[in-house]
């Protein structure tokens, strides 16, 4: 449910900040799924995986924010549809 | 001294490289010095090598110098190997020495030409290729030299490329000889697939051990080699390129189309003679081709107007004599005739070049005349060359070499009255057409002004070659020297004829031809004109003038159909296939490029949809 919420947010919002937020929501949805699965079957692996996801999310955010800055500098906007010059 | 052998082809090749790269920036004198000097150095080295070879013959009467392995691919290991034995020694000496004289001659003859450096570059490359061909110990290396001389002849025939006719003549020479080259190449394939080597001596040894006389493979490979030789040596049926090859500068004609290159076919057959001995039907074919060619070319030479074309046909005819000798197994006689022919034919061409240059590039003999007093050098050298060509008895080299072939044609196992008669008739024709040229050009009244007279660089080579044309046959021990490389000739039957009678008949044929030439072309020129004007005479004249209509025939059989097909198929039938493929690709591009919107959210949606589809497949299938 949480994952689907994130996905929809990703698809409908054009502001890049909201897109990044949606990605965070999706990541946390996946992390939550791991925790729940680990609790259900009494395995430590779920928590280990969540740690990995957390680390990855931190890295992703740093790259994502750098992209936000780049987009802002280049187009003076945060609208992702403005950056569509690779149109075939 | 023998180790210097590699220099003989290397020097002209190096000089070619220098001339080709820097020739444009060099002064004319430097070009001439380099172009002729490199050949001179090469000739000097080959004489040194020959002296070392003669004074201290290496074991087996052959010296082999392996330079490096050309390539090595699963058992196929051709090497860059030079092999010096009596046969290649004679060829090398004649080629380098005559080439040197021709180069000296060219320094003056070509002076002032735009392509001076280009000319010497091509000539040097030609000599390098020819020496490679002669010295090659491996058939593949021989093929390299073979193709090299083919390329250079194309370049030199079309040397004055601004006239499209010259370019066409070059292409004709290249394409016609290519027919023979293809046969040669197929012969190499056969030899390699069956004998697993291309080293000449090894091929001969294995062929002798593995193939019985008259076996199919031996006959096939010998016949294909003959095909190659026929193309390069301008014999029937591939002789048509040589008369047109006279479009090139005269020294080129002297070098390529008289003295050396056309002898490549003769050399090839002599080199691979053991294969030919294994294939008696091919031997007979060689002799018959030689006899037929010498007669056809002799008749054609009788009718030509162009002095160089007369000489071209006479070359074809003389090579016919060499083929005749090869065909009856008289290998050494063929090489002997090659040597004397190189001397007197180079001399004839160079003397003709003097005449042509003196008369504003006039080639038509009927517009010359009376040059005997005004160009005495050309007269004497041309007459000496002509006498040697026709075989003036007892004093000229040409008489001795040709007489041997005539005699061999009678007494050999494959010879007989037919070949002998053809050879005698050939002597008569030769004498008739060459003295026709002499009388037309040098006697009678003068018709044109003399433009320029030859200088020292032209006179000296002419003089040297004149001496050689007369004395060239007196090489002591020539035949015994060649024996290790070429098997001795076996006299088979003598019949009613003795050698003296044969020689006297040849001399009689020569004198008869000379007399007829004197009578028709000096004394009573109106008779000759009357004969040529009579209906039968005119028909024959036109037929022979056109070289027995071979050009016409080949034009009808090969050139016209190809041109017709080209016209019909102007829009290539295969084009739509490839155009259709291109159109299909363009259509796909249009369809797919629509999906590249550049919108990030669309891509994300695509990825999500793809994941959903994949998960669905994984879960439900």
| Spatial distance between the Cα atoms of B82 and B200, rounded to a whole number of angstroms | 11
CB–CB contact A86 B595 (8 Å): no
The Cβ of residue B443 has, within 10 Å, a number of other Cβ atoms equal to: 17
CB–CB contact B592 A88 (8 Å): yes
Judged by a CB distance cut-off of 8 A, whether residue B595 touches chain A is: yes
Band of pLDDT at residue A67, cut at 50, 70 and 90: confident
Ordered alpha helix ranges (H), A13-83:
16-41, 45-75
Q: How far apart are the CA of B186 and the nearest CA of chain A, in angstroms?
A: 54
User: Residue B537: its pLDDT value, please?
Assistant: 74
Chain-centroid distance, C-alpha B440: 28
In contact, B18 and B103? CB cutoff 8 Å: no
User: Residue B128: its pLDDT value, please?
Assistant: 92
Judged by a CB distance cut-off of 8 A, whether residue B590 touches chain A is: no
Q: Is the pLDDT of residue B461 over 90?
A: no
Full 3-state SS string of B498-540: CHHHHHHHHHHHHHHHHHHHHHHHHHCHHHHHHHHHCHHHHHH
Closest CA to B320 of B433, B241, B403, B235: B235
Q: Is the pLDDT of residue A86 over 70?
A: no
Q: How far apart are the CA of B156 and the nearest CA of chain A, in angstroms?
A: 56
CB–CB contact A88 B598 (8 Å): yes
B607 upstream amide cis, omega within 30 of 0? no
Q: Is the pLDDT of residue B285 over 80?
A: yes
| Spatial distance between the Cα atoms of B74 and B193, rounded to a whole number of angstroms | 13
Of B592, B597, B604, the CB nearest to A87: B597
Phi-psi sector, B350: left (phi>0), alpha (psi -120 to 50), beta: alpha
User: Residue B445: its pLDDT value, please?
Assistant: 75
Of A10, A81, A88, the CB nearest to B596: A88
In contact, B409 and B423? CB cutoff 8 Å: yes
Tell me which residue has tokens 């959210």.
Answer: B601
Cα→Cα distances B595→A86, B326, B591, B612, B614, Å: 11, 77, 8, 19, 20
CB–CB contact A11 B608 (8 Å): yes
User: Residue B111: its pLDDT value, please?
Assistant: 80
Residue B336 structure tokens: 């002997």
In contact, B188 and B142? CB cutoff 8 Å: no
In contact, B371 and B448? CB cutoff 8 Å: no
| Spatial distance between the Cα atoms of A18 and B587, rounded to a whole number of angstroms | 38
Phi-psi sector, B487: left (phi>0), alpha (psi -120 to 50), beta: beta
| Spatial distance between the Cα atoms of B324 and B286, rounded to a whole number of angstroms | 7
Q: Is the pLDDT of residue B190 over 60?
A: yes
CB–CB contact A88 B597 (8 Å): yes
Residue B596 DSSP symbol: -
User: Residue B496: its pLDDT value, please?
Assistant: 63
Mean pLDDT, to the nearest integer, of B56-66?
A: 80
Residues 6+ apart with CB under 8 A from B267: B87, B91, B133, B134, B338
B600 contact residues in A (CB cutoff 8 A): 19, 80-81, 83-84
Label residues A27-58 b or e (16+ Cβ within 10 Å = b): bbbbbeebeeebeeeeeeebeebbeebeeebe
User: What are the beta bridge partners of residue B79?
Assistant: B69
Residues 6+ apart with CB under 8 A from B160: B166, B247, B248, B249
A86 contact residues in B (CB cutoff 8 A): 596, 598
| Spatial distance between the Cα atoms of A45 and A35, rounded to a whole number of angstroms | 9
Q: How far apart are the CA of B78 and the nearest CA of chain A, in angstroms?
A: 55
B596 contact residues in A (CB cutoff 8 A): 86-88
The reported pTM is 0.78
Full 3-state SS string of B75-113: CECCEEEEEECHHHHHHHHHHHHHHHHHHHHHHHHCCCC
Angle at B46 between CA B40 and CA B48, to 5 degrees: 105
A83 contact residues in B (CB cutoff 8 A): 598, 600
CB–CB contact A80 B600 (8 Å): yes
Judged by a CB distance cut-off of 8 A, whether residue B608 touches chain A is: yes
Q: Is the pLDDT of residue B544 over 80?
A: no
Full 3-state SS string of B324-384: HHHHCCCHHHHHHHHHHHHHHHHHHHHHHHHHHHHCCCCCEHHHCCCHHHHCHHHHHHHHH
B594 contact residues in A (CB cutoff 8 A): 88
Closest CA to B277 of B208, B373, B192: B208
Q: How far apart are the CA of B590 and the nearest CA of chain A, in angstroms?
A: 9
Q: Is the pLDDT of residue A88 over 60?
A: no
The Cβ of residue B277 has, within 10 Å, a number of other Cβ atoms equal to: 19
B598 contact residues in A (CB cutoff 8 A): 83-88
- ipTM value, please give it: 0.75
- Cβ contacts below 8 Å, chain A against chain B, sum to 36
A14 contact residues in B (CB cutoff 8 A): 601
The string of pLDDT tens digits covering residues B380-403 is 888 898 888 888 887 888 888 888
In contact, B165 and B138? CB cutoff 8 Å: no
**Which residue of chain A has the CA closest to B591?**
A88
B597 contact residues in A (CB cutoff 8 A): 84, 87-88
């Amino acid at each position: 449910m949480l994952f689907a919420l994130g996905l929809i947010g990703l698809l409908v919002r054009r502001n890049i900040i909201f897109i990044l937020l949606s990605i965070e929501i999706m990541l946390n949805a996946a992390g939550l799924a791991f925790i729940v699965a680990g609790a259900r079957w009494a395995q430590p692996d779920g928590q280990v995986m969540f740690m990995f996801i957390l680390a990855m999310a931190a890295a992703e955010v740093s790259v994502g924010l750098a992209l936000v800055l780049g987009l802002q500098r280049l187009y003076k906007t945060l609208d992702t549809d403005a950056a569509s010059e690779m149109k075939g | 001294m023998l180790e210097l052998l590699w220099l003989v082809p290397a020097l002209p090749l190096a000089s070619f490289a220098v001339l080709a790269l820097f020739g444009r920036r060099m002064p004319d004198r430097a070009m001439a010095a380099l172009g002729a000097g490199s050949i001179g150095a090469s000739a000097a080295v080959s004489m040194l090598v020959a002296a070392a070879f003669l004074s201290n013959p290496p074991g087996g009467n052959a010296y082999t110098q392996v330079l490096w392995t050309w390539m090595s691919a699963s058992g196929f290991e051709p090497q860059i190997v030079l092999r010096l034995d009596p046969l290649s020694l004679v060829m090398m000496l004649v080629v380098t020495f005559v080439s040197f004289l021709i180069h000296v001659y060219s320094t003056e003859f070509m002076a002032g030409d735009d392509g001076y450096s280009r000319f010497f570059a091509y000539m040097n490359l030609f000599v390098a290729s020819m020496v490679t061909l002669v010295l090659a110990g491996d058939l593949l290396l021989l093929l390299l030299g073979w193709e090299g001389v083919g390329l250079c002849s194309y370049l030199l025939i079309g040397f004055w490329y601004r006239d499209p006719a010259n370019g066409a003549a070059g292409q004709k020479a290249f394409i016609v000889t290519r027919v023979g080259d293809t046969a040669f190449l197929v012969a190499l394939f056969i030899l390699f697939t069956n004998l697993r080597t291309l080293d000449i001596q090894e091929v001969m040894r294995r062929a002798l051990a593995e193939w019985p006389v008259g076996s199919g493979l031996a006959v096939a490979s010998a016949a294909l080699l003959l095909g190659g030789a026929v193309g390069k040596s301008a014999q029937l049926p591939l002789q048509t390129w040589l008369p047109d090859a006279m479009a090139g500068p005269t020294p080129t004609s002297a070098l390529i189309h008289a003295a050396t290159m056309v002898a490549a076919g003769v050399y090839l057959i002599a080199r691979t003679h053991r294969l030919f001995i294994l294939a008696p039907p091919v031997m007979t074919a060689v002799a018959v081709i030689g006899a037929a060619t010498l007669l056809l070319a002799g008749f054609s030479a009788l009718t030509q107007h162009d002095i160089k074309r007369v000489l071209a046909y006479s070359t074809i005819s003389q090579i016919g004599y060499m083929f005749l000798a090869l065909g009856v197994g008289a290998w050494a006689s063929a090489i002997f005739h090659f040597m004397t022919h190189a001397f007197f034919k180079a001399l004839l061409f160079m003397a003709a070049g003097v005449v042509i240059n003196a008369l504003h590039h006039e080639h038509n003999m009927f517009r010359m005349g009376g040059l005997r007093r005004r160009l005495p050098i050309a007269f004497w050298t041309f007459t000496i060359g002509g006498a040697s060509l026709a075989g003036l008895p007892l004093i000229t080299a040409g008489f001795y070499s040709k007489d041997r072939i005539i005699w061999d044609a009678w007494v050999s196992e494959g010879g007989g009255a037919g070949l002998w008669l053809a050879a005698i008739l050939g002597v008569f024709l030769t004498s008739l057409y060459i003295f026709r040229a002499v009388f037309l050009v040098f006697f009678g009244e003068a018709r044109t002004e003399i433009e320029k007279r030859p200088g020292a660089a032209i006179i000296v080579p002419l003089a040297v070659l004149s001496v050689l044309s007369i004395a060239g046959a007196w090489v002591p021990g020539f035949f015994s020297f060649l024996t290790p490389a070429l098997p001795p000739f076996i006299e088979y039957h003598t019949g009613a004829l003795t050698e003296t009678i044969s020689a006297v008949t040849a001399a009689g044929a020569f004198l008869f031809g000379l007399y007829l030439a004197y009578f028709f072309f000096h004394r009573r020129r109106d008779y000759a004109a009357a004969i040529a004007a009579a209906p039968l005479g005119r028909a024959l004249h036109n037929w022979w003038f056109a070289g027995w209509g071979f050009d016409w025939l080949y034009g009808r059989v090969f050139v016209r159909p190809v041109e017709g097909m080209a016209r019909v198929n102007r829009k290539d039938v295969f084009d739509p296939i490839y155009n259709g493929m291109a159109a299909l690709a363009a259509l796909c591009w249009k369809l797919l490029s629509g999906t590249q919107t550049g919108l990030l959210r669309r891509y994300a949606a695509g990825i999500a949809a793809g994941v959903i589809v994949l998960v669905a497949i994984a879960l439900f299938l």
